[in-house]
Structure 1
């Protein structure tokens, strides 16, 4: 007598569908937070935009503050991969550049690209921070994450022996200039191109932070 053989359950397709649903929710949340603000966006609106039920969002993210946090993670990284920001390949390439002036120019171009992606979201969170505790907490965490990453970058810049300021001053200046505010003022409000802004930012960092090259004698 032949016995039926049960095939092992393949959850690959189910996991892929769940991940795509999560991505749709995060895209919808991001767009609505930017368009109308975090405070005015409801879970029901996100569900309608994503084409899912509100129950699905609660089952996946539990609540609106968690949805905000996860949306930020995807916004800052540009995808939903679980990789620390300053360990992403494009950041590692900057960190590996031995010439500090060239490193800062690379960093300025990268910072400009991330500002275009992140600043609208950051501004929506800051706009809600005064009235929404979860937004205020998220804003503080965003600044803390940026400071932690730039602490690493400044430490490595100092290790090259090419800084003309202290490691702490390098960290603080770059931190102050990469919150998206300058980018928004000059690119969005004053009409600079991203290329113009990146070049200006890089040259500013080089002038402020990098030792002048030693001129050969004779």
Structure 2
């Protein structure tokens, strides 16, 4: 008699776990197809077939293809471990180390979710809503870097550049296109890219030690 009530007691938790697993399966299928076929060529029906679920199930989980793309974009930041970034920044007040921490975060982001960033940019060409989301993400990245750099002591930055120029230089060097060129086209290991970014940005952004 006690076994049946116990089973019913966990029915809600079991349904939640199953729904989360289904959503994860759909997201993985979408990412696979978006990367293989391109965002525009992939339909919701394709995603449903790849995930082994019905089309209504995809709509129920994410609304539409844009909603699914939004979910993948949100997961990109999570995969790079924002909590780790914050912990390391708070534990590392020295500007050169904080610069290295930010670069390490970007390396993790591009290494783990670079494909998602590229497909989101592709989707922006035809979807104004996603184009705005991509612009907002770029603005958030600049704002995050601005928050860190603006806490540095006076005269930390190279005397020839101001804060906004420093942000421009960071974005020009440390981005998905440079990462892809070096890792895919020129076969650099990600760790080598990270070390080069650290040397280059330290040289370009920081004043010489007095």
* TM-score, normalised relative to structure 2: 0.83
Matched, 1:65 2:66: yes
The alignment's C-alpha RMSD in Å is: 2.4
The structural deviation recorded for 1:161 is 5.9
The CA deviation at 1:60 is 1.5
CA shift digits 1:75-131 (9 cap, x unpaired): 23218xxxxx75x12343135312222222233233222112222222222233323
Counterpart-to-counterpart distance in 2, 1:52 and 1:213:
60
TM-superposed CA distance for 1:47, in Å, is: 1.1
Structure 2 unaligned blocks of 5 or more: none
The equivalent of 2:170 in structure 1 is 174
SS of the equivalent of 1:103 reads helix
Aligned to 1:163: 157
| Structure 1 gap ranges (5+) | 1-5, 80-84
Q: Look up the match of 2:118.
A: 123
Aligned length: 202
- In structure 2, the partner of 1:24 is 25
Residues of 2 paired with 1:134 and 1:38: CA distance?
15
Summarize the alignment of residues 72-91 of structure 1 with structure 2, pairs less than 5 Å apart. 72-78=73-79, 86=82, 88-91=83-86
Could you tell me whether the CA contact under 8 Å between 1:43 and 1:64 is conserved in 2?
Answer: yes
Following superposition, the deviation at residue 43 of structure 1 comes to 0.8
Structure 2 vs 1, CA of residues 96 and 170 (structure 1 numbering), >3 Å: closer, same or farther? Answer: farther
